[in-house]
Structure 1
Amino acid sequence: MTMLRQIGIAAMGLSVGLGSAGAGAYELKFQGNDYGELKGRIRAMSILTAKDNGWDPSSGNAYSAMLSYKSPSWNGFNFNTAAYLNGDIFGSTDFDPKVGEERTARGMFLNDTGAQKGQLTNVNLTFGNKHLYAFGGRGQIDTPLTTNTYNLVPNSYTALRAGAKPIEGLDISLGQITQMSFGTRAMTDWGFIGEATGTAGVAQAPNQSGLGQAEFFNLGQIALGPRAENISGLTVASISYAGLPHTKLSLWNYYTQDISNSVYFDVDAKIPLSKMKLDLGAQYLRQDDVGDGTKGIQGGPSIQANFGDGNLDYNLFGLKAGLIGPKKKWTAHVMWNQSDGDTAFFNAFGGDPAYTSSIFSRNAYRQDVNAWGLRASYEIIPGLRFMAAYFDYGKSETIGAVPNVTPAAVPTSNADELDLVLTYKPKQVKGLTIRTFYVARTSEYDGFVNPVTGNKADATMSHWRLIATYSF
């Protein structure tokens, strides 16, 4: 906390020289000298209504504050840092929910009590020019299997990465990730979205003894549990080409020592069509085990059932097609994913490239799932946009957990999700975004009956949330 206060004091001391550097950024200048760029963000999130069934998150009011700094460029080098602060709003969240009736939205907080907690998520040195770029230190890593939607505090990584652009349109990169830090949403990725399957971006409960959020751990513990041995990390290699008309092709390989090798390929094409654009895409993801794979993984019966034998054999195919209207006034898309193989996708490090991922569902990473979705958006007036989406996920062969019912449930039916989102960015208040969304979701474990206790899972949600963000 002392570190965060010092950052805030330093920023206030420089405020005399603040000058606008574009949306959400300020140049720090004094007597004609450039001292870099400062950005800030304050976000508040609140659950308005939810089902009282003990499964739908019904209580959560959280905030985050972010302050980042980027140094002036020196021969292409920049120093970058960012700090986050997160906590409960005025102690209004119920962290002692009634079993079977309420559920705390644990994925909005960095600890189990909602107490204020901060982290210096980013400390890194970057380099960039026309043909080369590099990253070294801690921060977010922008690749398909390390980029994840976050709400308040992001996942962070310790990494070294370098790339080259030898000719126009060609991009080649190589990197090594050695550590990861769980952000706020990691608890949702593990529990509510992932349902303890290990497939939604987190393979270990972040709040278990020996782990934690807003702390950096070796990737061995992040993947297999707190008692696992250290590994050298995750080696990421990529090649992409955007030299074809309106089309980009990308190939990524992720090698995790003694655990897995994942290959991801996608093609993205945005083809002009009158005043519109035809948006087409295809993707493929393949995962195999390396060494002992996931053998010896720690955790409950569901993660043991899905990955305890050490084997990994997973394929994901995907297609998308859509139209983008004139000046992005409206959009309409249809998406499809199919997974197959002998296992689900062991998704430990935050990845989420699947086309059919929605706000609270990532079922395409489970074993043998046929998924499809529809998504459309429309700008009602300048600054006000409505989005609607519906997704259907075929019943998988993956074991999951249902709180207060069973730690190991078999799928009972197809899963689905309806998302309705309204986003407002008023021109009168630069940097302000107000978003509200409603989600109706049914888990594939809904209706599962525990054969010992007779308890039946009501794994359905009817959830309304409000988010306000101010960036400066």
Structure 2
Amino acid sequence: MMMRRQIGIATVGLSMGLGGAGAGAYELKFQDHDYGELKGRIRAISILSARDNGWDPSSGHGYAVTAGYKSPAWNGFRFNAAASLNGDIFNSTDFDPKAGKERTARGLFLNDTGAQKGQLTNINLTFASKQLYAFAGRGQLETPLTKNTYNLVPNAYTVLRVGAKPIEGLDISLGQVTQMSLGTRAMTDWGFIGEATGTAGVAQAPNQAGLGQARFFNLGQIALGPRADDISGMTVASLRYAGLPHTTLSLWNYHVQDIANNVYAEVDAKIPLQGMKLDLGAQYLRQDDVGDGTQGIQGGPAIRANFGDGDLDYNLFGLKAGVIGPKKRWTAHVMWNQSNGDTAFLNAFGGDPAFTSSIFSRNAYRKDVNAWGLRASYQIMPGLRFMAAYFDYGQSETTGGVLNVTPAATPTKDAEEIDLALVYKPKQIKGLALKTFYVNRTSEYDGFVNPRTGNKADATMSHWRLIATYSF
């Protein structure tokens, strides 16, 4: 059998095979017969240093091996499958941390012990022609309110979606999402980034009794808790137009039965400017309750305080402006978000479109936040890039949890984050990427004092980690 490396085919809004596995693929050929393509990825993440304050994740060494298959096309149809295996590297992670001193980076693993665990994340049938496309099955759903940063094993969804491109530049689609499976990073989105607010992509603690990761659940349980009733799911409709010069307009509507209706709109423009590009964007996100909304939502005091009355009333406005240098050798951007309304954003299904989201902060989805940020990157030499960013988040009106201090804290100050990253992709080894980053972060709950115990929150971060990825 002959195996020949080639560049993978771009998807149309849904992952057709192996989400995030890299650009390469192995084409399977035998006697001029096409038997499809194989992809794979090995990734390891290790925490090098962190603060010993019981809040900054100080111990974590995780890996994931992912493999995917894409069948040959038959009249536009393809079969796709992908699976991931995750675990602790050489049993080196401390899963019994000292309270107030250490914290396990639980977001690197699919369970509380780091024991090896796998999942068939993708199994689906796709169709693509010049003007039509479709997806049926399980996989990643790349839309603004379901596409989320992930580290080792991604979130996955059970989806039926169809789309059309009736004229040049116009893309319309309609889909139904009935189930979701929480990946490794879901625990970070719930606890460390989300701080039990339900606003950072997960609305329920993934490791609570009746839920879990790498398992598919009805969207009712994903949003409201393991004892919630099943719902029919989330209906997703979209309209995208790229027929204007250098500009793309997008409009999305997400209707979740008996919970919420979400509208998201975005304008993205990349205008040529003397060998460079002016990068401009605007966004708007609106959420309203549907039916009983979140009334009776399960979970701790923070999530119930934020959403338990059943009301959802949230707006997010955003702007960004930047310059992309010649051949992307350097970039520089400034971004802004403002949220308002009577509640925070119930962010249950992995969404993260806000311009001011950083590595470990998504505060723009909280109630009444003014956020801004600066981000820049520079190519030191081919294959080596340095990135830096600073974000400031105004003090919100959202109840959150602080590990080992209180499950219901009120904000005490503005939050901020500094990110520094170095990425190396050596040309000599195709598919290899090495990334190291440092994050300095202060939570808006830093300094909160539990009135019952007197414990004071040291919710500050000084964190350095290394990520190695090989895609093949």
TM-score interval (norm. to shorter):
over 0.9
Q: Secondary structure at the match of 2:24?
A: coil
**In the alignment, what sits opposite 2:422?**
422
Partner deviation per Cα, 1:397-425 (whole Å, 9 max, x = no partner): 00000011000000000000000010000
Q: Distance in 2 between matches of 1:421 and 1:80?
A: 34
**In the alignment, what sits opposite 2:36?**
36
**In the alignment, what sits opposite 1:400?**
400
Q: Secondary structure at the match of 2:441?
A: strand
Letter paired with 1:326: P
Q: Would you say 1:178 and 2:178 are equivalent positions?
A: yes
**In the alignment, what sits opposite 1:255?**
255
Q: CA deviation at 1:30?
A: 1.0
Equivalent residues in 2 for 1:166-245 (5 A)? Answer: 166-245=166-245
Q: Secondary structure at the match of 1:270?
A: strand
Equivalent residues in 2 for 1:113-152 (5 A)? Answer: 113-152=113-152
Equivalent residues in 2 for 1:68-467 (5 A)? Answer: 68-467=68-467
Q: CA deviation at 1:236?
A: 0.2
Letter paired with 2:141: I
Q: Which runs of 5+ in 1 are unaligned?
A: 1-15
Letter paired with 1:18: M
Q: Distance in 1 between matches of 2:33 and 2:245?
A: 43
Taking only aligned residues, the RMSD between alpha carbons, in angstroms, comes to: 0.5
TM-score, length-scaled by structure 1: 0.96
Q: Which runs of 5+ in 2 are unaligned?
A: 8-22
**In the alignment, what sits opposite 1:21?**
6
Q: Secondary structure at the match of 1:21?
A: strand
Partner deviation per Cα, 1:197-222 (whole Å, 9 max, x = no partner): 00000000000000000000000000
Q: CA deviation at 1:336?
A: 0.0
**In the alignment, what sits opposite 2:17?**
none
Report sequence identity in percent: 81
Letter paired with 1:454: G
Q: Secondary structure at the match of 2:350?
A: coil
**In the alignment, what sits opposite 2:14?**
none
TM-score, length-scaled by structure 2: 0.96
Q: CA deviation at 1:17?
A: 2.8
Q: Distance in 2 between matches of 1:311 and 1:18?
A: 56
Letter paired with 2:138: R
**In the alignment, what sits opposite 1:9?**
none
Q: Distance in 2 between matches of 1:404 and 1:62?
A: 24
Q: Distance in 2 between matches of 1:156 and 1:129?
A: 25
Q: Secondary structure at the match of 1:176?
A: strand
Q: CA deviation at 1:20?
A: 1.2
Q: Distance in 1 between matches of 2:24 and 2:183?
A: 22
Q: Distance in 2 between matches of 1:142 and 1:462?
A: 31
Q: Distance in 1 between matches of 2:441 and 2:6?
A: 42
Partner deviation per Cα, 1:303-351 (whole Å, 9 max, x = no partner): 0000000000000000000000000000000000000000000000000
Q: CA deviation at 1:81?
A: 0.4
Q: Secondary structure at the match of 1:220?
A: helix
Moved over 6 A (4+): none
Q: Distance in 2 between matches of 1:35 and 1:76?
A: 15
Q: Distance in 2 between matches of 1:420 and 1:80?
A: 37
Q: CA deviation at 1:21?
A: 1.7
Letter paired with 2:244: L
Partner deviation per Cα, 1:380-438 (whole Å, 9 max, x = no partner): 00000000000000000000000110000000000000000100000010000000000
Partner deviation per Cα, 1:235-266 (whole Å, 9 max, x = no partner): 00010111000000000000000000000000
Q: Distance in 2 between matches of 1:143 and 1:129?
A: 20
Q: Distance in 1 between matches of 2:183 and 2:29?
A: 33
Q: Distance in 1 between matches of 2:59 and 2:181?
A: 25
